[in-house]
Structure 1
Amino acid sequence: MNKFFITVLGMFLVFSACKTPEARRPVKTTSGSYIDASVAMNKKIIAADEKDILAIIEKDTSREYLSSEQGFWYFFNNQIPSETEQADFGDIVEYEYDIKDLNGNIIYTKEELGTQEYHMDKEELISGLREGLKLMKEGETATFLLPSHKAFGYYGDLKRIGANMPIITTVTILNIEQIN
């Protein structure tokens, strides 16, 4: 009887040890409603920025505004029709620019900002300006109307540019140093 009992106990232990592991369930689940609310708020901000920018474009019939694939609008103040090349990845672009609000009030002058040097796509720069520089050639001047998400976004620049503030920037490329 003792052998039988040990055999049954051994078989029980073997079969109970072969149980597959069960997945652990989360203690607390969230619905993602914060993300949904954030997306809805960002869509409203983008729509308001676009509405304001399109109102400016509609009033200004003296210029030909272009819409970029990246989500901003621009026009050339001075366009060079020559075959000079635009800046490419890694090229060094020397430029100057100013920043205004949508009412045309100056936030930063060219003198305050000074001459800037930017290594194309290798340094941090607001996305609207980074993409705008790619559209220009040496010696050209262009004005970009940037919605807030293409400018300084949610935080602004923590100085004079507020949160979710669309801007107008006029940029002149002084020199493009081709690296390749």
Structure 2
Amino acid sequence: MGCSKNAQTHPPVGGVLSKNDLEVSRNRMRNLNSMERTQIQDWINGQPTKFYPTQLNYWTDAQGFDQRQRRQDNSLISYSYDLYDFDQTKIYDQPVARKDAKFGHFDEMKAVEDALRFIRDGEEVTLLVPSALAYGTYGDEKKIDNDIPLIIKLKAL
């Protein structure tokens, strides 16, 4: 997950979320996810590249991607990725890069961590990621707002 570890959450006055508040929040996320999935599918329909859904709820341009052999916990991987919005505008000038990251011990967006389990060494894949699997309701507190789906170009080095 890409959320900041020190992000403060503040319960409402009274200290706890009511069942109703939790239900409102759940429904909001469900509706947002459904809307984003429809928007991403519409975007895919206008692309020359074919994209395939994965079990975790993002898409990739590699067919059968998450059916491959899975990398094990504690194995090492070096990777980099660039982030784009759905206007295909690059968000950061420099890619995010990690060298010899150990599975089970690094903190990454859910979709990126999942994709790294299946990517082959030297391979580059494009991920289409709903906001819930990217930076969610908080954004990255820099250039990425809350509830923004992303295009991630991920490369295993």
TM-score (norm 1): 0.70
Which residue number corresponds to residue 51 of structure 2?
65
Secondary structure of the residue aligned to 1:53 is helix
SS of the equivalent of 1:145 reads strand
Cα displacement string for residues 44-64 of structure 1 (whole angstroms, at most 9, x for unaligned residues) = 11012101110111111x322
Contact 2:80-2:97 within 8 A present in 1 as well: yes
Maintained 8 Å contact 1:74/1:142: yes
Amino acid at match of 2:84: K
Q: Do 1:146 and 1:168's aligned partners in 2 also have CA atoms closer than 8 Å? A: yes
Corresponding position of 1:171: 154
1:103-161: per-residue Cα shift (whole Å, max 9, x none)?
1011024xx23531321122211101000111211010000000000001110100001
Partner of 2:98: 116
Aligned length: 136
In structure 2, the partner of 1:45 is 32
Give SS of 1:134's match. Answer: helix
Structure 2 match to 1:18: none
Which residue, out of 100, 112, 115, partners 2:84? 100
The 1:152/1:63 distance shift into structure 2, 3 A limit, reads: same
Distance 1:101 1:31 in 2: 35
Q: Percent identity?
A: 21
Aligned partner of residue 60 in structure 2, secondary structure: strand
RMSD over equivalenced CA pairs, Å: 2.0
Match among 96, 108, 129 for residue 125 of structure 1: 108
Q: Give the unaligned 5+ runs of structure 2.
A: 1-16
- The structure whose residues are more often helix, as a share, is 1
Say if 1:156 and 1:164, in contact at 8 Å, map to a contact too.
yes
Report what 1:147 is aligned to: 130
1:90 Cα deviation after fit:
1.0
TM-score by length of 2: 0.79
Over alpha carbons, which structure has the higher Rg? 1
Distance of aligned partners of 1:143 and 1:31 in 2 relative to their CA distance in 1, 3 Å threshold = closer
Amino acid at match of 1:54: Q
1:127, 1:86 → 2: CA distance? 15
More relative contact order, 1 or 2 (CA 8 Å, 6+ apart)? 2
Residue of structure 2 in register with 1:160 after alignment: 143
Q: Which residue of 2 aligns with 1:178?
A: none
Measure the CA separation in 2 of the matches of 1:114 and 1:71.
Answer: 22
The superposition leaves residues 28-57 of structure 1 with CA deviations (integer Å, 9 ceiling, x where unpaired) of xx8611111111111111012101110111
